[in-house]
Amino acid sequence: MTTVVLVDDQDLVRAGLRTLLTHDGAVQVVAEATDGRRGLETARKYRPDVVLMDLRMPVMDGIQATRAIRNTPELSGTHVVVLTTFDDDADIVEAIRAGAIGYLLKDTPRDDLRDAVARAGRGERLLSPAITERVMDLVAGGRTAPTPDPRLESLSERELEVLARIGHGDTNGEIAAALHLSPATARTYVSRILAKLGARDRPELVVIAHRSGLVLP
Protein backbone atom coordinates (compact mmCIF):
# COMPACT_ATOMS: atom_id res chain seq x y z
CA MET A 1 0.00 0.00 0.00
CA THR A 2 1.24 3.49 -0.88
CA THR A 3 1.03 6.06 1.93
CA VAL A 4 0.30 9.65 0.95
CA VAL A 5 0.21 13.10 2.57
CA LEU A 6 -1.99 15.67 0.80
CA VAL A 7 -0.78 19.29 0.83
CA ASP A 8 -3.28 21.81 -0.56
CA ASP A 9 -4.84 24.93 0.91
CA GLN A 10 -8.33 24.13 -0.42
CA ASP A 11 -10.46 21.86 1.76
CA LEU A 12 -12.65 20.66 -1.11
CA VAL A 13 -9.63 19.71 -3.22
CA ARG A 14 -8.13 17.65 -0.40
CA ALA A 15 -11.45 15.95 0.29
CA GLY A 16 -11.86 15.08 -3.38
CA LEU A 17 -8.32 13.75 -3.65
CA ARG A 18 -8.74 11.63 -0.54
CA THR A 19 -11.92 10.04 -1.93
CA LEU A 20 -10.38 9.50 -5.35
CA LEU A 21 -7.09 8.03 -4.16
CA THR A 22 -8.49 5.69 -1.52
CA HIS A 23 -11.23 4.31 -3.76
CA ASP A 24 -9.59 0.95 -4.49
CA GLY A 25 -7.73 0.50 -1.20
CA ALA A 26 -4.24 0.61 -2.77
CA VAL A 27 -3.51 4.07 -1.34
CA GLN A 28 -3.75 5.26 2.26
CA VAL A 29 -3.94 9.00 2.88
CA VAL A 30 -2.25 9.25 6.26
CA ALA A 31 -2.53 13.02 6.79
CA GLU A 32 -3.32 16.39 5.21
CA ALA A 33 -1.79 19.87 5.42
CA THR A 34 -2.99 23.30 4.34
CA ASP A 35 0.33 24.93 3.43
CA GLY A 36 3.90 24.04 2.58
CA ARG A 37 5.32 24.52 6.07
CA ARG A 38 2.70 22.28 7.64
CA GLY A 39 3.24 19.86 4.78
CA LEU A 40 6.93 19.62 5.67
CA GLU A 41 6.12 19.09 9.35
CA THR A 42 3.49 16.48 8.50
CA ALA A 43 5.86 14.64 6.18
CA ARG A 44 8.48 14.54 8.95
CA LYS A 45 5.91 13.08 11.31
CA TYR A 46 4.43 10.41 9.03
CA ARG A 47 7.26 9.78 6.52
CA PRO A 48 4.87 8.85 3.70
CA ASP A 49 5.84 7.26 0.41
CA VAL A 50 4.41 10.22 -1.52
CA VAL A 51 3.57 13.85 -0.81
CA LEU A 52 1.01 15.21 -3.27
CA MET A 53 1.91 18.91 -3.33
CA ASP A 54 0.04 21.96 -4.56
CA LEU A 55 2.13 24.93 -5.74
CA ARG A 56 0.35 28.15 -4.79
CA MET A 57 -0.19 28.15 -1.01
CA PRO A 58 0.24 30.60 1.88
CA VAL A 59 3.12 30.60 4.41
CA MET A 60 5.36 28.35 2.26
CA ASP A 61 4.66 27.52 -1.38
CA GLY A 62 4.97 24.11 -2.97
CA ILE A 63 8.40 24.74 -4.52
CA GLN A 64 9.92 25.73 -1.18
CA ALA A 65 8.27 22.82 0.59
CA THR A 66 9.44 20.36 -2.06
CA ARG A 67 13.01 21.59 -1.76
CA ALA A 68 12.84 21.35 2.05
CA ILE A 69 11.52 17.79 1.93
CA ARG A 70 14.21 16.69 -0.51
CA ASN A 71 16.87 18.26 1.72
CA THR A 72 15.64 16.42 4.83
CA PRO A 73 17.72 13.24 5.32
CA GLU A 74 15.03 11.32 7.18
CA LEU A 75 12.68 11.88 4.22
CA SER A 76 14.98 10.32 1.63
CA GLY A 77 12.30 7.69 0.94
CA THR A 78 9.53 10.25 0.45
CA HIS A 79 8.78 11.38 -3.10
CA VAL A 80 7.03 14.64 -3.99
CA VAL A 81 4.53 14.84 -6.83
CA VAL A 82 3.37 18.33 -7.73
CA LEU A 83 -0.34 18.47 -8.52
CA THR A 84 -1.44 21.89 -9.69
CA THR A 85 -3.65 23.83 -12.06
CA PHE A 86 -0.62 25.81 -13.30
CA ASP A 87 1.48 24.76 -16.29
CA ASP A 88 3.69 27.85 -16.27
CA ASP A 89 7.13 27.14 -17.72
CA ALA A 90 8.96 28.64 -14.73
CA ASP A 91 6.92 26.54 -12.29
CA ILE A 92 7.72 23.34 -14.18
CA VAL A 93 11.44 24.04 -14.24
CA GLU A 94 11.59 25.12 -10.61
CA ALA A 95 9.60 22.11 -9.40
CA ILE A 96 11.94 19.73 -11.21
CA ARG A 97 15.00 21.57 -9.88
CA ALA A 98 13.56 21.45 -6.37
CA GLY A 99 13.44 17.66 -6.58
CA ALA A 100 9.82 16.82 -7.46
CA ILE A 101 9.61 13.30 -8.86
CA GLY A 102 6.53 14.22 -10.87
CA TYR A 103 4.48 17.17 -12.14
CA LEU A 104 0.80 16.63 -12.88
CA LEU A 105 -2.11 18.90 -13.64
CA LYS A 106 -5.33 18.75 -11.65
CA ASP A 107 -7.28 17.76 -14.75
CA THR A 108 -5.36 14.46 -14.84
CA PRO A 109 -7.90 11.59 -15.22
CA ARG A 110 -8.60 9.81 -11.92
CA ASP A 111 -7.20 6.44 -13.00
CA ASP A 112 -4.04 8.11 -14.30
CA LEU A 113 -3.63 9.98 -11.02
CA ARG A 114 -3.95 6.81 -8.95
CA ASP A 115 -1.45 5.08 -11.22
CA ALA A 116 0.92 8.06 -10.98
CA VAL A 117 0.84 7.99 -7.18
CA ALA A 118 1.59 4.27 -7.17
CA ARG A 119 4.48 4.75 -9.59
CA ALA A 120 5.86 7.65 -7.56
CA GLY A 121 5.71 5.48 -4.47
CA ARG A 122 8.01 3.04 -6.29
CA GLY A 123 10.39 5.87 -7.13
CA GLU A 124 9.42 6.24 -10.80
CA ARG A 125 9.68 9.74 -12.22
CA LEU A 126 6.74 11.01 -14.23
CA LEU A 127 5.28 13.98 -16.03
CA SER A 128 1.79 14.37 -17.43
CA PRO A 129 1.73 14.24 -21.26
CA ALA A 130 0.94 17.96 -21.46
CA ILE A 131 3.90 18.80 -19.22
CA THR A 132 6.23 16.52 -21.19
CA GLU A 133 5.29 18.49 -24.30
CA ARG A 134 6.06 21.75 -22.51
CA VAL A 135 9.48 20.49 -21.41
CA MET A 136 10.25 19.42 -24.98
CA ASP A 137 9.06 22.78 -26.32
CA LEU A 138 11.30 24.59 -23.84
CA VAL A 139 14.29 22.64 -25.08
CA ALA A 140 13.44 22.75 -28.77
CA GLY A 141 12.62 26.45 -28.64
CA GLY A 142 16.08 27.36 -27.46
CA ARG A 143 18.01 25.04 -29.76
CA THR A 144 19.51 26.11 -33.09
CA ALA A 145 21.46 22.93 -33.91
CA PRO A 146 22.11 19.55 -32.25
CA THR A 147 24.95 19.57 -29.75
CA PRO A 148 27.02 16.37 -29.75
CA ASP A 149 27.09 14.75 -26.34
CA PRO A 150 30.13 12.48 -25.84
CA ARG A 151 28.25 10.56 -23.16
CA LEU A 152 26.04 9.02 -25.83
CA GLU A 153 29.02 7.04 -27.09
CA SER A 154 28.58 4.79 -24.05
CA LEU A 155 25.07 3.79 -25.16
CA SER A 156 24.25 0.79 -27.32
CA GLU A 157 22.12 1.17 -30.45
CA ARG A 158 19.08 -0.13 -28.55
CA GLU A 159 19.69 2.28 -25.67
CA LEU A 160 19.85 5.16 -28.16
CA GLU A 161 16.48 4.04 -29.52
CA VAL A 162 15.04 4.01 -26.00
CA LEU A 163 16.50 7.46 -25.31
CA ALA A 164 14.89 8.78 -28.48
CA ARG A 165 11.51 7.42 -27.34
CA ILE A 166 12.00 9.09 -23.96
CA GLY A 167 12.69 12.32 -25.83
CA HIS A 168 9.34 11.95 -27.55
CA GLY A 169 7.69 11.73 -24.12
CA ASP A 170 6.86 8.02 -24.23
CA THR A 171 6.11 6.17 -21.01
CA ASN A 172 7.89 2.90 -20.26
CA GLY A 173 4.84 1.02 -21.50
CA GLU A 174 4.81 2.95 -24.76
CA ILE A 175 8.55 2.36 -25.21
CA ALA A 176 8.01 -1.36 -24.66
CA ALA A 177 5.23 -1.48 -27.26
CA ALA A 178 7.12 0.60 -29.83
CA LEU A 179 10.35 -1.39 -29.55
CA HIS A 180 8.77 -4.81 -28.94
CA LEU A 181 10.15 -5.14 -25.41
CA SER A 182 8.61 -6.34 -22.18
CA PRO A 183 7.71 -3.53 -19.72
CA ALA A 184 10.34 -4.84 -17.31
CA THR A 185 13.02 -4.72 -20.00
CA ALA A 186 12.01 -1.17 -20.93
CA ARG A 187 12.36 -0.09 -17.29
CA THR A 188 15.78 -1.75 -17.16
CA TYR A 189 16.91 0.15 -20.24
CA VAL A 190 15.74 3.46 -18.79
CA SER A 191 17.57 2.80 -15.50
CA ARG A 192 20.72 1.80 -17.38
CA ILE A 193 20.60 4.96 -19.51
CA LEU A 194 20.17 7.16 -16.43
CA ALA A 195 23.22 5.51 -14.86
CA LYS A 196 25.41 5.68 -17.98
CA LEU A 197 24.63 9.33 -18.67
CA GLY A 198 24.79 10.38 -15.02
CA ALA A 199 21.33 11.94 -15.44
CA ARG A 200 19.28 12.77 -12.36
CA ASP A 201 15.86 12.00 -13.77
CA ARG A 202 13.67 11.40 -16.80
CA PRO A 203 13.13 15.10 -17.64
CA GLU A 204 16.91 15.47 -17.91
CA LEU A 205 16.92 12.58 -20.40
CA VAL A 206 14.30 14.46 -22.45
CA VAL A 207 16.63 17.46 -22.55
CA ILE A 208 19.65 15.31 -23.54
CA ALA A 209 17.68 13.59 -26.30
CA HIS A 210 16.60 16.91 -27.81
CA ARG A 211 19.92 18.68 -27.51
CA SER A 212 21.72 15.73 -29.08
CA GLY A 213 19.44 15.65 -32.10
CA LEU A 214 17.84 12.31 -31.32
CA VAL A 215 14.41 13.93 -31.56
CA LEU A 216 13.46 15.92 -34.62
CA PRO A 217 11.91 19.35 -33.86
Q: How many CB atoms lie within 10 A of CB 121?
A: 22
Question: Tell me: the pLDDT tens digits for 173-187?
Answer: 889 999 999 999 999
In a shared domain, residues 32 and 108: yes
Residue 193 is predicted with a pLDDT of: 94
Residue 138 is predicted with a pLDDT of: 59
Reply yes or no on whether the pLDDT at 135 is more than 70: no
In a shared domain, residues 155 and 117: no
In a shared domain, residues 93 and 159: no
Q: Which domain holds residue 177?
A: 136-211
Supply the pTM of this predicted model: 0.65
In a shared domain, residues 42 and 109: yes
**Residue 81: beta bridge partners?**
52, 102
In a shared domain, residues 58 and 158: no
Residue 144 is predicted with a pLDDT of: 46
Instruction: Tell me what the mean pLDDT of segment 86-110 comes to.
Output: 80
In a shared domain, residues 140 and 119: no
Question: What's the chain's average pLDDT?
Answer: 86
In a shared domain, residues 120 and 188: no
